[in-house]
Amino acid sequence: MQSLQQIAACVAGYDPNALPVTKASEFIARLVPRVQAVESLAIRSALGRVLAHDLVSGIDVPSHDNSAMDGYALRSADLLGAADTLIGVAGTAFAGTPFGDTVAIGQGVRIMTGAVMPDGLDTVVPQEFTRTEADGRIRIPQGSVKPGDNRRLRGEDLARGEAALKAGRILTPADLGLLASLGHAEVAVYRRLRVAFFSTGDELRSVGEPLAAGCVYDSNRYTIWGMLTRLGVELLDLGVVRDEPAALRTAFTQAAACADAVITSGGVSVGEADHTKQIMAQLGEVLFWKIAMRPGRPMAIGRIGSGSQNGESSSVIGEAGHQAILFGLPGNPVAVMVTFYAFVRDALLAMSGATPQPLAPLRAVSQATLRKKPGRTEYQRGIVSQGEDGRWQVRITGSQGSGILRSMSQANGMVVLHHDQGDVAAGDLVDVIAFDGLV
C-alpha cells in the first residue's frame, strides 16, 4: 500500500495549501481501494449494483432469424420486380410455434411478430400492404417490400461470445433485461460499500432535542444520509459527536473498524480550536488540505484505523490492521454537499468497483453576470430552465453563502466555474451539473 506521501509525489503540482480540484481528484483516485468481495444476487436485487465480471453471452440473441412484423414471410427470389406478386399461403408461423414444413417455390407463410422465419424465406411483407385474392392467394403490390425487409437476424442483439456488459458497470433497468434475455437468473456483483458517518461540533443538536442559545440543528447528517442512500451504499450513522478527545476517539475507532469509508463534517478548518484534527492525525495517516475551491476549502483526507495496528495495514474490513478511507468534510452545510459531489461521490463509486463515469455537464446560458476569480473552482447553485428560444439557461439562486442550505434546496443544478475561468458575462455559456439523476 502506498503512503500518502508516495501518492502525493505522483500528483504533478501537488500543493496541500492551494490544491486545485483536479489535483485533489487525482490524489483521491490514487488513494482509494476497491472492494474485492463479490456476491451473487437474483437479477432484480442487482439494480444499481456494480457488475463484478464481464458478462459474455453464451447464446445468440435472438436465437433465430424472426419476423419484426405481422404479415407474410416469403422468398425474395419470388418477388416480381415490375409487377405485383401473388403468393400462396402454406401455413402459419406463430411466436413460439414455428412453421416446421418446407415451403414450395411461389408460396409464403402467414407470420406473426417474433415468429421464427421458416426455412428458405428471407423477407416479410407487412399485413397492411397486402390484399387477399378470391382464390386465397396474397397480392403483394409492386415495390412494397425489398429483399430482407422486416426480418430480425439471429444474434443481431448479441452474438454468442460477445461481451454483453463490462465489469464495473452500474446495472440499469435495461441491463437487468439484457441479463434476463441471456437466461441469467443471477448475477455476480461487488458487495455493497459500507460507509460510517458522523457530525462533529459542540454547537450541534440533533432534531428532537431542544435548541439551546448559540446552537444549531445538525443538518449535515441528513444531507449526507440522503446522498449516500442514493449511491446505494450501506450506512452506519454514528450521530453527533462532542468535541471531546475521548468521544471523538471512540467514534473514529468504531467507524474505522466496521466501514470501508468514514465521512465526518466539521472541525477541519484552519482556525479550529477543537480536537477533531488532532484525533484524526493520531488514528492514522491524514492530510489536511486547503482546496482551491468555493465553497468547501478545508478538507481532511487519508486512512484511519483503530490506532493500534502494527505491521501491514489492510483495506479489508475485519482483517488485522484494517484502515478505512477518511473524508473529513467542512462543516458548512453547502460546503458539505459540494465537496461530496466534487470528490466523495466519485471516490465511493470507485471504491464500490464502478468504472468512473465523468458527469456530463449541461451547457447553459448564464442569465446574469457572475463574478469569478481565476485560480479556484466555484460551484454556484443555479436554477436551469428552458428559455423561449428553446435553449437551456441558468440563473443563480440568491445568496451563495456556504452556510445557506436553502440556496442548495432551491437549485436544480450546480454551475461549475472552472479553475482558470474568470468573470462570466450575461449570455455566456457555462457548465452546469444537473442534480436530477445525480446519484
Where does this chain bind ligand AMP (CB under 6 A)?
199, 201, 203-204, 216, 218-220, 265-267, 269, 272, 330-333, 403
Element (H, E) at 40: strand 38-42
Binding of Mg ion by 333 (CB under 5 A):
no
CA separation for the pair 166, 60 (Å, rounded): 18
CA separation for the pair 109, 99 (Å, rounded): 8
Q: What's the min distance (Å) between Cβ of 302 and ligand AMP?
A: 17
Q: What's the min distance (Å) between Cβ of 233 and ligand AMP?
A: 19
Return the number of the residue (305 or 330) whose C-beta is nearest ligand AMP.
Answer: 330
Short-list 290, 292, 241, 251, CA closest to 269: 290
CA 389-390-391 angle, to 5 degrees, is 95
Short-list 241, 239, 228, 230, CA closest to 195: 228
CA separation for the pair 67, 84 (Å, rounded): 22
Q: What's the min distance (Å) between Cβ of 372 and ligand AMP?
A: 23
Residues in the chain: 439
Binding of Mg ion by 330 (CB under 5 A):
no
Q: What's the min distance (Å) between Cβ of 272 and ligand AMP?
A: 6
Binding of Mg ion by 118 (CB under 5 A):
no
Q: What's the min distance (Å) between Cβ of 297 and Mg ion?
A: 14
Q: Which of residues 189-218 bind Mg ion (CB under 5 A)?
A: 201
Q: How far is CA 346 from CA 109, 355, 358, 395, in A?
A: 55, 10, 8, 26
Total residues contacting Mg ion by CB under 5 A comes to 4
User: CB under 5 to 8 A by kind: which of ligand AMP, Mg ion, none does 220 bind?
Assistant: ligand AMP
Binding of Mg ion by 298 (CB under 5 A):
no
For 232, phi then psi, to 5°, come to: 80, 25
Q: How far is CA 140 from CA 102, 110, 253, in A?
A: 21, 13, 79
Please, which residues have CB within 8 angstroms of residue 38's CB and are 6 or more apart in sequence? Answer: 52, 53, 188, 189, 190, 191
Return the number of the residue (142 or 409) whose C-beta is nearest ligand AMP.
Answer: 409
Return the number of the residue (114 or 403) whose C-beta is nearest ligand AMP.
Answer: 403
Instruction: Give Dmax (Cα) for the chain.
Output: 98
Residue nearest to ligand AMP (CB): 331
Span interacting with Mg ion, options 5-13, 47-55, 324-332, 359-367, rule CB under 5 A? 324-332
Q: Which of 20, 108, 155, 266 binds Mg ion (CB under 5 A)?
A: 266
Return the number of the residue (79 or 334) whose C-beta is nearest Mg ion.
Answer: 334
- Interface residues with Mg ion (CB under 5 A) are 201, 266-267, 331
